[in-house]
Homo-oligomer: A and B are copies of this chain.
Amino acid sequence: MESAGTVEKAVDVLFHLHAARAPQGVTAIGQALGMPKSSTHRLLSALGRRGLVERDERGQYRTGIALVALGLGALEGEPVVAAGRPVLEAQAREVGETFFLVAARAGKLRVLDKAEGSGFLRAAPQVGSAVPVHATAVGKLYLAFGSDQVAQSGTPLKAFTPRTLTEPRSLQSAARAVRRRGWALNRDEWIPGLSVLAAPIRTGRGGDERMVGAVALAAATPRLEELGTDALARRVRRAAEQIAARLEVGAPGRGRSR
């Protein structure tokens, strides 16, 4: 975490405030990042001048609203999100469980958007966060259809639960099965009690077909079985196809400027 440029240190301050989830003072931030108070203070001032950090009534620093505008702007700039949102919302309302959108960005799988279910016990992934590859339904999809888009982690695959696939061989055979069926299932492999169904969003015809993301349905494992895995899988696949269709028609509209 050492020896970074000024800009990167400033960004690190933002991430630290984000991770801390509570407003903090100059001293605490400086200690956490291994920087002297004065440097920390200068970075915070610069960030504050642009509204990326704010101060509460106690004078403690926290992330600012300017970040909200930037972040939501970045989301809306994602064609997959724009195309997917109404579909996610419609599905979440019909099924009553959480639907979300995941895509590979910079070698990692990121939650791009979500529409939460209505149950007392429901999945609530954090938009913007990363999820593991080898222990999720979407991860298997990427191994099956877009393995070049996600970074392969080192051989020691972390066993989140007893059901996590930690052997590269079993992962490969799982990927083959996924390729055959066209959808993926994760039952208690990442988080005990959580099951996820996922289907790929694919654009382009024939040779240059490309996976641009995945639709996932997350619910408590018993709930998923109660509703019927196969029926839900068909539903998730249909949702993914709808989003892909919206991307095809929408694509020409996104014109280049200047």
A residues adjacent to B (C-beta < 8 A): 5-8, 10-12, 14-15, 18, 20-22, 28, 43, 46-47, 49-52, 54, 62-75, 77, 105-106, 110, 112, 126-129, 256-258
A65 touching B69 in the complex, CB below 8 Å, given contacts A8-B49, A20-B257, A105-B54: no
Residues of B near A73 (CB, < 8 A) are 18, 21, 63, 128
Say how far A61's CB is from chain B's closest CB, in angstroms.
11
Q: Give 13 pairs: A residue, B residue, CB < 8 Å, sorted on A.
A: A7-B43, A11-B46, A18-B73, A21-B73, A22-B257, A28-B258, A63-B74, A63-B77, A65-B106, A68-B72, A69-B126, A69-B128, A72-B126
A73 to B75, CA, bound (A): 14
Oligomer: number of copies: 2
Residues of B near A43 (CB, < 8 A) are 7
Interface contacts beyond A12-B50, A72-B72: sample of 8 additional A-B pairs, CB < 8 Å, sorted by A: A6-B6, A11-B46, A18-B69, A28-B258, A54-B105, A66-B128, A69-B128, A71-B128
- Flag if B46 contacts A62 (CB, 8 Å): no
- Flag if A70 contacts B127 (CB, 8 Å): no
Residues of B near A77 (CB, < 8 A) are 21, 62-63
Residues of B near A49 (CB, < 8 A) are 8
- Contact among B20, B54, B67, B75 for A106, CB-based, below 8 A: B54
- Flag if B72 contacts A128 (CB, 8 Å): yes
A165 to B15, CA, bound (A): 42
A74 to B106, CA, bound (A): 23
